[in-house]
Amino acid sequence: MPHKILEKTELAHGPVRFPILAAFHYREYRLYWLGGAFSNIGMWALVFGRLWLMHSLTESALYLGLVTTSSLGPILLFSVWGGVLADRVNRLRLVIATRALFAVLALLTGALISTDVIRPWQVIALSLLTGILLSFDIPSRQAMLPRLVPRERLVNAIALYSLLFSGSAIVGPGFFAPLVNLWGLDGLFYLIGGSYILTVGMMSMMKPSPHQRSNSEHGMWQGLREGFRYIQKSRLILSLIGIATIGGIFGMSFETLLPIFAERLLKGGVDTYSIMLLGLGVGGLSGTVTLAWLGNLKNSPRFLLLSGTGFGLALALFAQMTWFPAAMVTLGLAGGFSVVFMTVNNTMVQSLVAEDFRGRVMSVHQLSWGATALGGMLIGFLAQLGGAPFALTLGGLITALFAGGLVLARLGELARATQATALELSADTHQPANSDPGY
């Protein structure tokens, strides 16, 4: 995350032995984190499992793009409504419901494969349903986090949670090829369903009361308009959303083409694909750990500039590689820079937004991830026309130039805002109602 994991070595309730793990002092956060661990492994396998499934059915770059678009496209349409809902209902109960439905979709996919009736249109339809659920899941899940720990521990809590994304990208590839080879793709999807069932179990143990939102006296449309007006007036939040959107369209969509690089350009199969995903995950974990030790809220704008530019250039370099070891190094760099870029961006928004608008703002911020749907379709189309290396090189250079340029243009304002927020956090002794460690 954009912050140093811990500035102090004591919690409000006493000293903690390992400051870097301070947020784990709180029971609700521990349950939230464990639930996230299971669901992140499940979501990782779901995304890449569907890509490999579609590749095995069609061997078409365009169809791979359609899978990405179907999974993330609904976020562009429905995420803002998910944000409005997150500011009006009990966020925990909403997330439990969406996670249970993720389990149903994964088990259904496995059953379709086992009975040998799976078709490309079914993969796209299941991806579309997943995207609709994500539209309502993500805003509530992200808005829950600041309610789980005292405000001065928010930096630490977000940093520890971000480790799950890169961690699942390491654990996942280690099991991907063995599971597919031993149990087939259907076995993989059954395991995904099980991981979501475990997530539901963890979150069902949490206390629902801190996540209950008061019903607004205004309607849904009015709430949506209020959220957009707030973002429009908050220039820095609007800039951060724009920066993330460029990275989502032209950068994060690179994963769509990895099956093609694995099979056609690097002359491998599912084992090569799995190793590439492992390298991507190791790079992501390295980036997150680097942030944990060296990053803080004050220097986060510089981290954002460095990671956005480095991410785009690493993608352009990876696209030129035909020697596997060199491809792994550049892919690892891309993974590290991408995690830093999106994590820093997300945490800066969380630090700047007012609580009453958190769900709506985070839903609009997630449009940057939904923009990957457009990027997946675009990069698949460009790869079909000019080849995968051309498409990825173009996307990487656009990411480096435009994302880096936007950060540079706002660098002074971002630095002043983050320094002011860091000073406020260091002086704040506020304890939320649910900050009891739970021992």
Which of the pair, 75 or 258, is modelled with greater confidence?
258
- pLDDT exceeds cutoff 50 at 431: no
Q: Provide the pLDDT for residue 370.
A: 67
CATH code, domain carrying 102: 1.20.1250.20
| CA 174/CA 129 separation, integer angstroms | 27
> Is 432 a member of any domain?
no
> Is 439 a member of any domain?
no
Mean pLDDT of the chain: 81
| CA 364/CA 230 separation, integer angstroms | 11
> Which residue from 259, 193, 198, 253 is spatially nearest to 48, judged by alpha carbons?
259
Phi, psi of 5 (to 5 degrees): -60, -40
Give ∠ CA 301-305-306 in degrees, rounded to 5.
115
> Is 104 a member of any domain?
yes
> Is 141 a member of any domain?
yes
Which of the pair, 391 or 367, is modelled with greater confidence?
391
> Is 95 a member of any domain?
yes
> Is 314 a member of any domain?
yes
* Percent of the residues in the chain that have a pLDDT greater than 70, as a whole number: 84
Report the chain's terminal Cα–Cα distance, integer Å.
27
Residues 6+ apart with CB under 8 A from 251: 311, 312, 315, 338, 341, 375, 395, 396, 399, 403
pTM, to two decimals? 0.73
Asked if residue 14 lies in contact with residue 8, where contact means CB atoms within 8 angstroms, the answer is no
Percentages (nearest 5) of helix, strand, coil residues in the chain: 80, 0, 15
**What is the rounded average pLDDT of the residues 374-381?**
85
Q: What is the pLDDT of residues 105-152, one digit of tens each?
A: 999 999 999 999 999 999 999 999 999 999 899 888 888 887 888 766
According to DSSP, residue 430 is labeled: -
* Pick from 107-121, 248-262, 384-398, 425-439: least confident: 425-439
- pLDDT exceeds cutoff 50 at 188: yes
**What is the rounded average pLDDT of the residues 208-235?**
75
Residue 106: give the domain boundaries.
10-427
> Is 344 a member of any domain?
yes
- pLDDT exceeds cutoff 80 at 425: no
Q: Cα separations (Å) of 66 from 41, 305, 382?
A: 23, 31, 13
Tell me how many domains the chain contains: 1
Q: Cα separations (Å) of 45 from 168, 269, 336?
A: 9, 17, 19
| CA 46/CA 23 separation, integer angstroms | 28
- pLDDT exceeds cutoff 90 at 312: yes
Token match 């989502």: residue?
248
Q: Provide the pLDDT for residue 7.
A: 34
> Is 346 a member of any domain?
yes
Q: Provide the pLDDT for residue 173.
A: 65
Q: What is the pLDDT of residues 326-372, one digit of tens each?
A: 999 999 999 999 988 988 888 788 878 887 788 888 888 877 776 77
Residues 6+ apart with CB under 8 A from 212: 89, 90
Q: Cα separations (Å) of 65 from 40, 58, 76, 375?
A: 22, 12, 16, 8
